[in-house]
Structure 1
Amino acid sequence: MVVVANRFRRGIRMLAGLAVGGSLLVAGCSSQIQFADPLAGQPTPVARPAVKPHGPVAPTPTPSTAPSTPTPRPSESTPAPTPTPTPTKAPKPTEAPKPKAILAAGASGDQVRELQARLKQLDWFAEKVTGTYGPVTTAGVKGFQGKRELRVTGEVDQKTWDALLDRTRQPTKAELADKPAKPAILSRGDAGDKVKELQARLKQLDWFDVAITGTYGPVTEAGVEGFQEKRKLDVTGAVDQKTWDTLLGLTREPTRAELADAVPTASTKGLDERCLTGRAICISKRTNHLVWLIDGKPKLEMDVRFGSDELPTREGTFSVLRKKKDVISNLYHTKMPYSMFFSGGQAVHYSADFAARGYNGASHGCVNVRNWDGIVALYAQARVGDKVIVYS
């Protein structure tokens, strides 16, 4: 019995040991497990084994003997002090240098006259042109500068002068002398057949290159101004009697087709029958016209001028005898560029006098051409032996 009891106790102890080892498996759910000892009558507590931590163990801090003084923190309700900025002086703006004046108060002379006349065209000067730069001229310059968003100084610098030149025309002698303009026959705003004739005549001289309308507008005015300046007339843009007489002298009577602004066609209507075959320079004294044809097809057309009654241009059927580009007449000592001789010393050639004076003059018997490009083209195409037909 004693032996059996001892074994029984030993077995109980073994079970208790297993239970202690099993407590590692459930350490997350219970911190202590008790087993009843049937022999002792009191439960025997089984201690949970300690688990060693993994990794290094932090040392236990040693409390300081000196009391620590807490660092005061600023209250959230108390704003931090703002540093006072050091005041700095703003730099003074640098003014742009004043442009150099070409004309200013106190000046006098022809350029001041031109200034006043140009300001007068734009209604910035309403007094008499005197050539003296006074308060009225200064006020006019200021008004012009302000209008054109230029620096308002009352003095004429280069920029002001250039702007004034761009918006005005060259003053006439009458304007510079402050004389009343001559009465105009035709001027801007007019309309009718007379304006058509004006435009057609200007077109003959390449001073009008748009459709003939019969209305005197800015293009017609510009053409008249160009013609007047070229002929050293008063440049007004309006046609006075002197301008009209000069224009008549340099041009021929416009055809109906020209007045209607019809596009010229390759028509042989009105040409001499001798011109309609082969290669022919066909020249009509009746129309003052030259037509260059090949096999009856017109290739070039241009105005021509003839000799006077004392030195007439011969009529008949001729041929090109010789060609010479640079010729000076032995008799009259005048230049005859691009000459094509057809009867003795008579030739078809360019005439600077015809280009300048128009029908106010006459040749010494030759056929004068005033179209430079036209004569150059004809000279290049015509050959020695080609027909020259001159008829009335």
Structure 2
Amino acid sequence: MRISGKTHGVRARHGAALSVAGLLAAPALVLGTGTSAQAASCTASKGPYQKQVEKYLKRPVDGRQSTADCKAIRTFQASKGITPAAGYAGPVTWRTMKTITAQKAAGKNPNKARARKCPTNKGRIACVDLTRQLSWIQDGAKLRFGPVPVRTGRDGAETRTGATRIYWRNIDHWSTLYDVRMPYAQFFDGGQAFHSVTKSMYDNPGSAGCVNMRPADAKSYWNLLRNGDDVFVYGRKPGT
């Protein structure tokens, strides 16, 4: 299901669906001795990022797919909402691992050592770094909340970059475009808004333009931000 925002009289962004054809390159299946569907879904195929994924997961780095490798990759994929979770070391899995590594490196100083930074001369501002899929709230140079992982627009429906402001808020918004709830919605650019979802922040291909957040993070944004507060979106989401 695609997630985005739409208010009456506000233009909505229609994103093209991202094709996932070729993602698994028809990997062979390893049929386990058990009867569970999980045992039957593990691929024996080596992915193009096999060594990188093995290293990330602290597996023996030999570039060859093993049953243990597949299980470790599938566990990671399932925990991050990556589908299909078949244990294939493909581009989405490796890209997600790199994004998580960059998010961890941001620590509590997300503006440090960035070529382009969120402005520190605006007072209270919500920052969104598409490259690292991170968002935070700062007041001048002081971090107020975050950084937290977010899920932004997919290819063809990218979250727009630039400086805007929150102009409309609805704590229990219903999207008439997508027929879904958008709790803690705070609109800042046309139909694009911060709002809560129950999906993983790494669930691909992404939103239809909104900045999706975990429920607790979206609630904190709701409590900290007000109409008129600045929003700054920069960077480029991996895979777009």
TM range (shorter): 0.5 to 0.7
Q: What is the aligned residue count?
A: 191
- Looking at structure 2, the residues matched to 224 and 180 of structure 1 have their Cα atoms a distance apart, in angstroms, of 9
> TM-score, with normalisation over the residues of structure 2?
0.59
Distance 1:281 1:196, change over 3 A: farther
CA contact (8 A) 1:281 1:387 kept: yes
Is 1:266 matched up with 2:109? yes
Runs of 5+ consecutive residues of structure 2 not aligned to the other structure: 1-31, 61-67, 236-240
Structure 2 counterpart of 1:240: 87
- Looking at structure 2, the residues matched to 227 and 322 of structure 1 have their Cα atoms a distance apart, in angstroms, of 36
Q: 2:210 aligns with which of 358, 366, 375?
A: 366
Structure 2 counterpart of 1:285: 130
3-state secondary structure, aligned to 1:240:
coil
RMSD: 4.3
- Looking at structure 1, the residues matched to 99 and 37 of structure 2 have their Cα atoms a distance apart, in angstroms, of 32
Q: Which amino acid aligns with 1:368?
A: N
Q: 1:376 aligns with which of 203, 219, 224?
A: 219
- Looking at structure 1, the residues matched to 82 and 234 of structure 2 have their Cα atoms a distance apart, in angstroms, of 36
| Larger Rg computed on CA atoms | 1
Q: Which amino acid aligns with 1:197?
A: Y
Q: Which amino acid aligns with 1:387?
A: D
Distance 1:384 1:197, change over 3 A: same
- Looking at structure 2, the residues matched to 366 and 262 of structure 1 have their Cα atoms a distance apart, in angstroms, of 25
Matches within 5 A, 1:14-33: none
3-state secondary structure, aligned to 1:358:
coil
**Whose helix proportion is higher, 1 or 2?**
1
Identity among equivalent positions (%) equals 23
Query: How far does residue 223 in structure 1 lie from its aligned partner after superposition?
Result: 8.7
3-state secondary structure, aligned to 1:324:
strand
Distance 1:337 1:283, change over 3 A: same
> TM-score, with normalisation over the residues of structure 1?
0.39
- How big is each residue's C-alpha offset from its partner over 1:150-197, in whole Å with a ceiling of 9 and x where there is no partner? xxxxxxxxxxxxxxxxxxxx853375xxx79642759xxxxx753343
Distance 1:351 1:288, change over 3 A: same
CA contact (8 A) 1:251 1:358 kept: no
Is 1:321 matched up with 2:185? no
Structure 2 counterpart of 1:25: none
CA contact (8 A) 1:318 1:387 kept: yes
- How big is each residue's C-alpha offset from its partner over 1:13-49, in whole Å with a ceiling of 9 and x where there is no partner? xxxxxxxxxxxxxxxxxxxxxxxxxxxxxxxxxxxxx
3-state secondary structure, aligned to 1:173:
coil
Is 1:183 matched up with 2:26? no
Q: 1:355 aligns with which of 200, 203, 206?
A: 200
Structure 2 counterpart of 1:102: none
Distance 1:355 1:185, change over 3 A: same
CA contact (8 A) 1:327 1:339 kept: yes
